[in-house]
Amino acid sequence: MAKITAAEVGKLRKTTGAGMMDCKKALVEAEGDFEKAIEILRKKGQKVAAKRADRDSSEGVVVAKVNESNTRGVMISLNCETDFVAKNDDYVALANKIADVALNTNTKEELLAASFDGMTVAEKLIEQTGVIGEKLEIGGFEAFEAPFVGAYVHGGKIGALTGLSTASDNSSEVAKSVSMQVASMGATTLSYKDFDADFVQSETEARIAAIEKDNIERGRLGKALKNIPLFISRSQVTDTALAEAKVRFEEELKAEGKPEAIWDRIIPGKLERFISDNVSLDKELALLDQDFIMDDSKTVAQYVESKGASVVGFKRVSIA
């Protein structure tokens, strides 16, 4: 039987990440053949991966990388089964190394086929499944290019990339702040203008129905009824709707006995509130129309404009 040295075991452990005893057993089985020992450990990973294929990999870590010129960014989530593994330093280091590779790929499929330590990323995940004993997989993958790209990751669980139309002295600050907004508030589109009309109509009907149902119960309990909005998106607030609202406000002011000379100072504020009360969908899902988390007196669009910038797109990845 070949004599296995501690140095050989250490080298195999460094190469594969496997435990000391697993490395020693593999070297003994391979009769000291280093490459054969690596193959033995890989086959072990394949067996473990096959057994755990149906497991739920709902934990993990999100990593974002941006190239040196800040023109391209990528985010991945390396998923595993338990939070205990996700917090391990070696696991986080592996995720970062894979993200470095991902920076030069365009899709998850390209990433999995990319070279990594003498094998593909997909093979590395199988190998590490054997080492760690949990199912590992690339969950989320997003690649993004823009004149300036910035990133933000919160707690290793939620990440965002933001693209700006131009690069300037404050681009890093703006891109990070908007990325924090994306990570925190979960926008799905850039502006209310991007919403599909059928989607808005469907959401309107569903939300009004939910409020009406809730109001029945509130009425039964003697509670104040919730206001039923006319609309839920700025895309529905047409010029006609605004004109009708203005007429209604003029009638209210007249009934209140307010002098007509001061209506022009009152009505703009009422129209602004009217719009604000009827754009709940926008504030939930449209990034630029959301209240800015660092200063809710302005929208994200107003914040970005105040910095002389504009957002061209964003991406978000989170651990499910």
Same domain, 14 and 91: no
Residue 230 or residue 179, greater confidence: 179
Q: How does residue 129 score in pLDDT terms, banded at 50, 70 and 90?
A: confident
Q: How far apart are CA 19 and CA 139, in angstroms?
A: 26
Q: How does residue 23 score in pLDDT terms, banded at 50, 70 and 90?
A: confident
**Structural domain contains residue 74:** yes
Beta bridge partners of 161: 151, 315
For residue 128, the SS3 value is: helix
**Structural domain contains residue 45:** yes
Q: How does residue 5 score in pLDDT terms, banded at 50, 70 and 90?
A: confident
**What is the span of the domain harbouring residue 128?**
59-185
**Chain segment 258-309, per-residue pLDDT in tens:** 999 899 999 999 998 888 888 999 999 999 999 999 999 999 999 999 999 9
Q: Chain-wide mean pLDDT for the chain?
A: 90
Q: Given this model, what pLDDT does residue 163 score?
A: 97
Token pair for residue 218?
């509130």
Q: Given this model, what pLDDT does residue 53 score?
A: 65
| Number of domains, the chain | 3
Same domain, 70 and 172: yes
Q: Given this model, what pLDDT does residue 8 score?
A: 77
**Structural domain contains residue 10:** yes
Q: Given this model, what pLDDT does residue 4 score?
A: 76
Q: Given this model, what pLDDT does residue 311 score?
A: 97
- What does pTM read for this prediction? 0.79
**Structural domain contains residue 309:** no
Number of Cα atoms under 13 Å in the Cβ half of residue 124: 21
- Statement: residue 51 has pLDDT above 70: no
In the predicted model, what is the mean pLDDT of residues 67-77?
A: 97
Q: How far apart are CA 277 and CA 4, in angstroms?
A: 74
Same domain, 112 and 45: no
Same domain, 107 and 172: yes
Q: Given this model, what pLDDT does residue 45 score?
A: 62
Determine phi and psi for 80, rounding to 5 degrees: -140, -170
Q: How does residue 19 score in pLDDT terms, banded at 50, 70 and 90?
A: low
Domain end marker among 185, 216, 237: 185
Q: Given this model, what pLDDT does residue 217 score?
A: 93
Q: Given this model, what pLDDT does residue 2 score?
A: 64
Domain end marker among 160, 185, 210: 185
**Which CATH number is 74's domain given?**
3.30.479.20
**Structural domain contains residue 171:** yes
- Statement: residue 97 has pLDDT above 90: yes
**Structural domain contains residue 166:** yes
- Statement: residue 52 has pLDDT above 80: no
Same domain, 71 and 103: yes
Q: Given this model, what pLDDT does residue 291 score?
A: 95
Same domain, 69 and 172: yes
For residue 111, the tally of other CB atoms under 10 A from its CB is 24
Same domain, 152 and 203: no
- Statement: residue 175 has pLDDT above 80: yes
**Chain segment 222-236, per-residue pLDDT in tens:** 999 998 888 999 999
Q: How does residue 48 score in pLDDT terms, banded at 50, 70 and 90?
A: low
Same domain, 36 and 116: no
User: Percent of the chain having pLDDT more than 90?
Assistant: 68
Same domain, 102 and 212: no
**Which CATH number is 43's domain given?**
1.10.8.10
Q: Given this model, what pLDDT does residue 1 score?
A: 57
The single-letter code of the amino acid at 244 is E
Q: Given this model, what pLDDT does residue 31 score?
A: 74
Same domain, 20 and 138: no
